[in-house]
Amino acid sequence: MEKYNENLNWRYATKKFDPEQKLSKDQVETLLESIQLSASSYGLQPYEVFVIEDEDIRKKLKAASWDQPQITDASHLLVFANLTEINEDYVNSYLKNISKTRKLDLEKLKGLEDMLKNTVLQFSQEEKSIWAANQAYIALGNFLSAAASQKIDTCPMEGFDAAKYDEILGLKDKGLTTAVIATMGFRSEEDQAQHATKVRKNKEELFHLI
């Protein structure tokens, strides 16, 4: 646990990546698996993640991100896109996946089915989209920690035009919208931010034992 916290202290939001250093296929797969295994409310995972390597697409996305250099300089760009609508078909597909994975009859999942259809499916479309985006952020947090544990640099980013991202990636037709993005790769030696002492609230301000 001590090593885990050391790695979290090591990480920072990398502002300048070394464009010459690329992640290996195994490194990418490990980090993507950390997203796949992330916690999610009810286990529904109402989001998809786009791994952007294509240089031309990344140039377009950079223009939609106020020309921030991380978009094109990092080894990879991840776009976390949440579902804009969660319907009965999506819930039924999820239940079938549980049934297949755990070798359970669907009848034994009736309680979970009723709970999902009486909670999530009762949200308004706007509430569903907000809830789904929140789940994407949970996955982002898991990814950031996993990357730190592998000494891989990342930068979570909200400075972008979501509508333009959706247009460039054709997300609307997929029933998705961009929630948050992150770049991953290796820091440049020229990035002065890596030398700054991490600033956080002290424990007395942050934690309250009741």
What mean pLDDT comes out for the span 131-154? 98
Alpha helices for 103-124 (secondary structure H): 110-118
- CATH number for the domain harbouring residue 29: 3.40.109.10
Residue 123 has pLDDT above 90, yes or no: yes
Residue 15 has pLDDT above 90, yes or no: yes
In terms of residue numbers, what domain contains 31?
2-36+46-84+141-206
Rg (CA), the chain: 19
Best CA proximity match to 147, nearest among 194, 197, 182? 182
Question: Which DSSP symbol is given to 179?
Answer: E
In a domain, 121, yes or no: no
The proportion of the chain whose per-residue pLDDT surpasses 70, expressed as a percent, equals: 100
Q: pTM for the whole thing?
A: 0.96
Residue 22 has pLDDT above 90, yes or no: yes
In a domain, 179, yes or no: yes
For the chain, the domain total comes to 1
CA–CA separation, 162 vs 66, rounded Å? 12
In a domain, 54, yes or no: yes
In a domain, 133, yes or no: no
- DSSP secondary structure string for all residues of 78-93: EEEEEES---HHHHHH
In a domain, 101, yes or no: no
Give the three-state DSSP class for 165: helix
In a domain, 100, yes or no: no
**69 within 8 A of 173, measured Cβ to Cβ:** no
How do 76-83 and 153-157 pair as beta strands? unpaired
In a domain, 155, yes or no: yes
**23 within 8 A of 152, measured Cβ to Cβ:** yes
In a domain, 60, yes or no: yes
